[in-house]
Each structure stands twice: as structure tokens, then as C-alpha cells.
Amino acid sequence: MFSTIGRLKVPYVLMHMQGTPKSMQRSPEYRDVTAEVIRHLAEGIDRLRQSGVPDVIVDPGFGFGKDLSHNYTLLRNLDAFRVLDAPLLVGLSRKSMVNKVLGTTAEQALNGTTVLNTLALTGGAKILRVHDVREAVEAIRLFERYCSPAGA
């Protein structure tokens, strides 16, 4: 697939997932989840670049072969992904990492999702994959204002 993407010169989202969709949540294990996910993504970026893919976006794959602890460790360490020199996409919207902590359902997870999206922006996320677009846009606008010079 990488050679086709390279030939077409289209952007590619490279996401980390331990295992397969059928097996990914069966006791995922890491020695150092941040280092291992970064290593996996770096290797993928290298293969994509060798295939001529000009634009790679990286996604740590929250919830894909990761338990609650792994997900929050990755969120706390998002700034470490800057070493990849690629835009960082995160998908935290309505994830179990919100619901398990707050005791909510996916339908009730908007506030928790917005908090985690804001933390992800603080950690360097450039793209948010969301269900609730208006609320995410508002979070981004407020975050950008917070980051702008005084009076801007």
C-alpha cells in the first residue's frame, strides 16, 4: 500500500496499533509505551518516505491495543512525539479512557472529551479526530487565543 500512496503523492495517516482489531485489547503489554509507539511510528515514517510519500500524519492510536494506563501515559507524553517531525493527530472523542474514569457512557462523554482534547492540544496535537465538531472547534479557538500574544 505504501508504494501506491507514494505514487499518488497523497497524505497518509500512520496510526499505531498493537495486535489486530480482533486481538488488540487482549492484555496489551509494553515496557515503555511512549518509546515503543514512537519507535513504531518512526519506522513507518521511514518506510513511507522511502516509498515517496510526501506527507505523513502520525496517530498514537489511543485505545488501539492500549489499556487505560497506556492511554494516559501517551497523553501525558505527547510532546515526546515532536521528535517524529510530523503533524500529530489524536482521536480521544468519546473513548473508554473518558468513560472509565468518569463513569459515563459515550453519549455523556462530551465534557471529558473536550478536556482531553485541550490537554492534547497543549501536548502538541495538530489534528483532532472528533464526533462533536462544534465543541472541538470552540476548544481549538480558545486554546489558540490562550497561546497567542497578549492583545492579539
Judge whether 129 counts as a catalytic residue: yes
- Asked, for residue 98, whether it belongs to a domain, the answer is yes
Grade residue 24 by pLDDT with cuts at 50, 70 and 90: low
In a domain, 123, yes or no: yes
Tens-digit pLDDT profile for residues 2-11: 999 999 999 9
pLDDT band at 150; cut points 50, 70, 90: confident
CA distances from 69 to 27, 28, 52, 58, 99 (A): 12, 11, 36, 21, 14
DSSP state of 51: T
Q: One of 9, 39, 76, 95 is an active-site residue; which one?
A: 95
The catalytic residue among 129, 134, 141, 145 is 129
Task: Classify residue 152: in a domain, yes or no.
Answer: no
Q: What is the pLDDT of residues 78-127, one digit of tens each?
A: 999 999 999 999 999 999 999 999 999 999 999 999 999 999 999 999 99
Q: 109 lies in which domain range? A: 2-147
The phi and psi torsions of 56 (rounded to 5 degrees) equal -120, 130
Q: Which residue has the cell 455523556?
A: 108
In which band, very low, low, confident or very high, does the pLDDT at 149 lie, cut at 50, 70 and 90? Answer: confident
